[in-house]
Structure 1
Amino acid sequence: MTQDLEPNKGAAEPLVAHGDILRSLSSLGAVRLAAGLTSAAIIIAGLFFGQEILIPLAVAFLISFALSPAIAKLERLGLSRLPAVMLTMIVVVILMGGFGLVLGSQLRALSQELPTYQSTIRSKLADLRKNLSGPGMLDGAMQTVDTVQKEVESPATHADDAPQRVSVVPAPPMPFDTAKAWLVPALAPLANAGIIFVFVFLMLVDRSDLRMRLLRLLGGNLHRSTDAMEEAGTRISKYLLMQLLVNVTYGLPMGVGLWLIGVPGALLWGTIAAVMRFIPYIGPMISAVFPLGLAFAVDPGWNMVLWTLGLIIVLEVISNNVVEPLLYGSSTGLSAISLIVSATFWTALWGPVGLVLSTPLTVCLLVVGRNLPQLQFLDTLLGTSPALDLPTRVYQRLLADDSDEALDIAQVEIERSSVQAFYNDVAVPVLGLASQDYQGQATPEHHLRVINGMETLIEALREDHTGGDAGAGKPRVVCIAGKWEVDTLAADMLAHALCLAGISADFRPASALTSRHLDGLKLDDVDIVVLGYMSEQPIAAARQLCRRIRRR
């Protein structure tokens, strides 16, 4: 009895050890997930609480990318690094200062003319009030609401019994407090601008040193880190250049159109429209408020307002549907959903500045994820490249029992190439995935879905793409499936591909190779027999069947 029990006890030990290994791997995965979530929470908290330092640094980083091409061009002309940086920044400051003076003069002239438009505004508002005060379908409901509100707000006691209201008059502020209240909000933007200016200067002057330090921080493969930095610089510089071109092609027609319509300060509003487009999504809407409001105030009628509104709508449609797709293209490499999510995320962290910086910062994350294996999930989440390749997409749709969408994917691919190319590049890998999963994780239901879905797909392709006429002298071929359903599907596809090439071909299912069916297999008028196996080791079975078919 003891001798019988000992082997059983020894046989159970490997199973127990195997279970311990699985539990340890599961616990290790849970620990890694917890560590990743903790690290992400710490990074997000650092971005939020350190925004006073990180925002000027990020803005300076963005400006340095925008100025780098001009500095590189000056260096190619013979200037050294420091004079090229100084000359570029001086030119930028002079241009911005001159443009600011021009816009300031227009704004000053406009502010002097605004009081003359008060009568027009009063008359228009009076007309609107008169039109809105007429009888309407909601008048009864509004009167009921007003009556209830008056009843609720009516005092519960007589006026003589009501308590007297006491007002507390604060002491007049000191002159120093008044000056502080005015100067602190005014000096804060100037201080941030000075910090950004210093950051930009240092980044441009010490670019090589910063590049080496970043390479050191990235570590790992030097080739991969170098490619990541080069790709990030190229993508961000191209995005900023395209953004500038898009804004100019929007602001310039806006200014010219407003000038032709007669809206005062057309140059000012065109510049504001171009600048505000740096703010995604809400910038164009904000910039449209000013010319519309001024057109409302200037023109006693409604023609100027309607022309201004039509100009804005036409420019938005052209810019969003023609100019931006033509210029942007795939310069950022970000998907549409990732742009919206990143804008929401950075706005929640850093406010309006985060909305402006959302696209360049997300581009940096995309490039890092594309070049560092540890952060490759960022490329999957943010990039435009498909998360699944074409065979995997078709296979996933078949697993979901959605053969219609699988057929749509096949038709799109066939329009780009051909039926034969689809069979070779997509359908055969799909059968390979089905063969691999059949030995492991696939359930019988999933296996049946894939087989039925592929049969439906091949039948539809046979109906839509019929074979050509067999040429004279070309061989007659029969494609015989080796062992199981996947082999039958492969033989069917091969026969169809040969027919499309003008070769007379037919296929036989896997059941044709059984002893009973093989004796009745008609091969008298066949020149070539093709045996197909979706198997890792088909040699032995194929040799045996070849001998049997030769005897036939």
Structure 2
Amino acid sequence: MVERRIEPSIVRRHTPFESIATFALVAALLYFGAGIIVPLVLAILLAFALTPLVTWLNRRLHLPDAVAVILAVVGALCLLLSLATLAGLQLARLAEDLPGYQQTVSTKLTGLQEQFGGELMERINGTISSLSAQVSDVTQVEAPAEGRPVPVAITNNVGPLGLLSSVLGSIVGPVATLAIVVIFLIFLLLGRADMLERFIRLVGSGDYAKTNLAMADASRRVGRYLLVQLAVNSTYGVLFGLGLWLIGVPSALLWGVLIVVFRYIPFVGALIIATVPFALAFAVDPTWNMLLLTLGLFLVLDLTTANVVEPRLYGSSTGVSPIAILISAMFWATLWGPIGLILATPMTVCLVVIGRHIPELRFLDTLLGSEPVLTPPEQLYQRLLKGDPIAATEILEEYTTEHSQADFIDEVALPALIMASEELTDRPAAFDQRRQMVESFNMMLEEFETSDVEDGPIILLIGGRTEVDEAAARLLAIQLSERGIPTRVLPPLAIKPQAIERLDLDDVGIVAMVFLGADIRSQARYVSRRLRRRSGDIKLVACAFGEPTDGETVERLHLDAIYRNHVDATKSLHRQWESDLGPVERVPLSPRLDPTKTLVQARLQKIAADFGVAVARVDLLGQVTAGNEAPSDELTRLAAHGNKPLFVTQEMNAALLAHDAFLQSNGILLYAGTPLKMPNGDRVGVLALLDYQAVTLSDADLERLERSAAELVDLMLAEQINLDLPQPVLAG
């Protein structure tokens, strides 16, 4: 038995040049083959329209298929001939009445001349006379010059046979096209089942279910479009004809019928036929009332239909966006002229359906379809990336009109933040986007209605790594506050190694770290160990809304619980707060120094406590750090080489904060740094104060910070010790 190996198929991507060349070739075939393709397309379009009638005749009246087809086609032809006959009779009657309108037109023109002065009308009359003279000069025979032969023209009088040939030559083209369309239509209706099977076999590639679905979808959408268009055009014609009859315009019935037909030409068809009633209103009524009323009637009907009715009805019935209908009309009109305008929308519908069901042509549905191409979370994320909180708030308001605020958080806001966490990593190129997105997100959260709750132990929510995690913590805080639970939200800086010892836990019952990333082990384990040493009875949980990884268990991470989705986290924290924390009076905790710390680290902790900030740290010049674990070297150099301490707040120096990844991702709103000066004058680094609140430091505080830096240098020199940092301040 020979084993067959199936090699993986290699999909070759087309180059842009190949795509453009293919499009140009198809367009050329459509243009030069219009004589054959247009009648066939017209027949297919009419087949879509008449198929329901043929099916009804088969099923209800039990007529043979051939008889039903002939009756349907003959009925359609009779309807067209009736409309043509009615239009002809009305036109003949109108032609008889036209001579009687000459006096009214002459009187109005005279009035216009008197109203606007003779200069304008004289110029118009002069231009007309000039054109007439040029035409007369061309048609007149030049007088023969002296000595030159006289040209002789031999003409024949047109006889009956010549007149008949001329008339037949002018109508044979349209009649031949109509005959071809009718023949195509009959054969398509008679063999519709066989044609469908052949088409499925040709394009189905064995996937009959998908092909049948595509054909049914196309037939349903095109048929619905034709019915909707017929209803809209008929309603438009009835209202227009009735309005003209009430106004008094002659042959109002004729213009109502013609505008129904001409409106199948999108955008310009109604205007083309409406110019005739405008001219009649001008000619019939000695005053201007009839013309003004006719203009007003047309503008109201056309603007309402084009801007209100059609975009909604056609967009929902065809699945094609209004802009796609406009572009397709321009394209097909360029190829096939006026008939292309009529066929534009049905053919575009077919392209959209094909793109919806064939993966290789999915771009057609994306470009032309009316369905939103982005989900609500993607829409929100895209607007937040643009830094547009107003548009983001509009999405919030629109979504909450049909859903609850909790649904928006769980189904829109949180998925948008997860996308941001996955795309906007700690790479420098994405930092500005992440900062802008979070700022817009926080502005959007101001629209949420929250209640302040102050009784009982609080649940402390802390962003795990970045400001995106902090934004997710704010969402969780909104949900908990609605349940009557007091909360406080802190940025990631609060659980950094330099700040965790100063974390205020006096009124805290539960500490919940919120992560949107995949791996939480190192950060969660470090924080849980530190906080367990400070308070053994505190509840520690992690809200990890990203994909879980191996080893993330409560035992390994020293946690009380891990919640994997927003709903479980809200319910579980609510239940745990009510059962364990609500009625219990907790003993206040005070920060204490860790005896295992070096003297320098203990001094830094004391400096932070003296100034009332979250972190006091030493940053060395040229210190190599990974990710966003320290302020940028540029900021450190700026503080180290200054003549006075560098004091940075969001209000005073927003640009310095905005371009520092460490400050932004950890939610730091205060930075104050002063140089560490060695006895020989060298500046080796900076003593920096950091806080996630906008703390105000006076000039006296900054002078005290300089003294603290000098005392810290003296301590390091006297004790000959190293800092617990990647690089030591002093050699041992």
TM range (shorter): 0.7 to 0.9
Aligned to 2:183: 198
User: What is the deviation of 1:61?
Assistant: 1.1
Partner SS state of residue 515, structure 1: coil
CA deviations on 1:270-305 (whole Å, 9 max, x unpaired) are 101111111111011112111122222223333322
Give the structure with higher Rg (CA): 2
Aligned to 1:92: 76
Aligned to 2:503: 521
Identity fraction in percent: 39
Q: How does 1:58-137 map to 2 (within 5 A)?
A: 58-77=41-60, 78-134=62-118
Does residue 227 of the first structure (1) align with residue 209 of the second (2)?
no
* Aligned-CA RMSD value: 3.4
| 1:350 aligned to which of 336, 350, 362 | 336
Does residue 43 of the first structure (1) align with residue 29 of the second (2)?
no
User: What is the deviation of 1:547?
Assistant: 4.2
User: What is the deviation of 1:363?
Assistant: 0.8
Partner SS state of residue 464, structure 1: coil
Cα separation, 2, equivalents of 1:314 and 1:507: 56
Cα separation, 1, equivalents of 2:402 and 2:64: 51
Contact preservation (8 Å) 1:332, 1:363: yes
Partner SS state of residue 331, structure 1: helix
Does residue 505 of the first structure (1) align with residue 487 of the second (2)?
yes
Decide whether aligned partners of structure 1 residues 200 and 333 sit closer, same or farther in structure 2, where only a CA change above 3 A counts. Answer: same
Contact preservation (8 Å) 2:422, 2:517: no
Q: Write the letter of the residue equivalent to 2:30.
A: L
Contact preservation (8 Å) 1:401, 1:450: no
**Relative contact order higher in (CA < 8 Å, ≥ 6 apart):** 1
Aligned to 1:12: none
Q: How does 1:135-214 map to 2 (within 5 A)?
A: 169=153, 171-172=155-156, 179-214=164-199
Decide whether aligned partners of structure 1 residues 548 and 173 sit closer, same or farther in structure 2, where only a CA change above 3 A counts. Answer: farther
Cα separation, 1, equivalents of 2:309 and 2:392: 34
User: What is the deviation of 1:541?
Assistant: 4.2
Cα separation, 1, equivalents of 2:157 and 2:518: 89
Decide whether aligned partners of structure 1 residues 534 and 108 sit closer, same or farther in structure 2, where only a CA change above 3 A counts. Answer: same
User: What is the deviation of 1:90?
Assistant: 2.2
CA deviations on 1:207-243 (whole Å, 9 max, x unpaired) are 1111112212322432222221111111111111111
Q: Write the letter of the residue equivalent to 1:211.
A: L
Unmatched tracts of structure 2, length 5 or more = 1-9, 131-142, 535-732
User: What is the deviation of 1:398?
Assistant: 3.8
Aligned to 1:16: none
Does residue 537 of the first structure (1) align with residue 510 of the second (2)?
no
Contact preservation (8 Å) 1:467, 1:501: no
- Residue correspondences, number: 506
User: What is the deviation of 1:445?
Assistant: 4.3
Cα separation, 1, equivalents of 2:233 and 2:20: 39
Unmatched tracts of structure 1, length 5 or more = 1-24, 147-158
Aligned to 1:453: 437
Aligned to 1:463: 446
CA deviations on 1:88-144 (whole Å, 9 max, x unpaired) are 2222223333333333222222222222323333333333344444357999xx99x
Aligned to 2:472: 490
Does residue 52 of the first structure (1) align with residue 2 of the second (2)?
no
Contact preservation (8 Å) 2:462, 2:494: yes
Contact preservation (8 Å) 1:334, 1:363: yes
CA deviations on 1:342-361 (whole Å, 9 max, x unpaired) are 11101000001001111111
The answer to which of 522-531 and 319-328 deviates more is: 319-328
Report the TM-score when normalising by structure 1.
0.82
The answer to which of 171-180 and 403-412 deviates more is: 171-180
Q: Write the letter of the residue equivalent to 2:182.
A: F
Contact preservation (8 Å) 2:380, 2:395: yes
Q: Write the letter of the residue equivalent to 2:300.
A: V
Q: How does 1:392-411 map to 2 (within 5 A)?
A: 392-411=378-397
Contact preservation (8 Å) 2:83, 2:257: no
Partner SS state of residue 330, structure 1: helix
Q: Write the letter of the residue equivalent to 1:299.
A: D
Does residue 428 of the first structure (1) align with residue 411 of the second (2)?
no
Cα separation, 2, equivalents of 1:163 and 1:487: 104
Q: Write the letter of the residue equivalent to 2:71.
A: L
Partner SS state of residue 531, structure 1: strand
Q: Tell me which protein shows more strand as a share of its residues.
A: 2
Aligned to 1:290: 276
Cα separation, 2, equivalents of 1:541 and 1:163: 113
Aligned to 1:273: 259
Partner SS state of residue 506, structure 1: strand
Cα separation, 1, equivalents of 2:487 and 2:499: 19
Aligned to 1:263: 249
